Amino acid sequence: EPEVTQTPSHQVTQMGQEVILRCVPISNHLYFYWYRQILGQKVEFLVSFYNNEISEKSEIFDDQFSVERPDGSNFTLKIRSTKLEDSAMYFCASSPRAGGSETQYFGPGTRLLVL
């Protein structure tokens, strides 16, 4: 069964450093998302991406965040200058175009720890 994959599974970084989290969505999906979950809290939407542009972003997704689909398979989330409060699990999700299921399928996540 196709699945969303994410790398790395864990990332430890120093405050102020840049990190790039990588995702490979399910191959025939066209909508891509990033969510995060701070330990003990609910899953929060960050950004959605369709047709090579951002369709919606939350207030969490400030100028320190960016997303990119550099080729036909990868979808990346970059945090330019990490803060302590960026420590969280980051989940990538994808969903197919209309006509198929409308559900979003989540990757296994990247646990980011900012020291």
Partner 1 sequence: QKEVEQNSGPLSVPEGAIASLNCTYSDRGSQSFFWYRQYSGKSPELIMFIYSNGDKEDGRFTAQLNKASQYVSLLIRDSQPSDSATYLCAVNMRRDDKIIFGKGTRLHILP
Q: Which residues are at the interface with partner 1 (CB under 8 A)?
A: 31, 33, 35, 41-45, 48, 50, 55-56, 58, 89, 91, 93, 95, 98, 101-109, 111
- DSSP letters for 41-82: S--EEEEEEETTEEEEE-TT--TTEEEE--SSS-EEEEESS-
> What is the smallest separation between the CB atom of 58 and partner 1, expressed in angstroms?
7
C-beta of 78 vs 111, nearer to partner 1: 111
Tokens for 78? 């970059």
CB of 7 to partner 1, least distance (A): 14
CA 39/CA 29 separation, integer angstroms: 29
Shortest Å distance, C-beta 22 to partner 1: 15
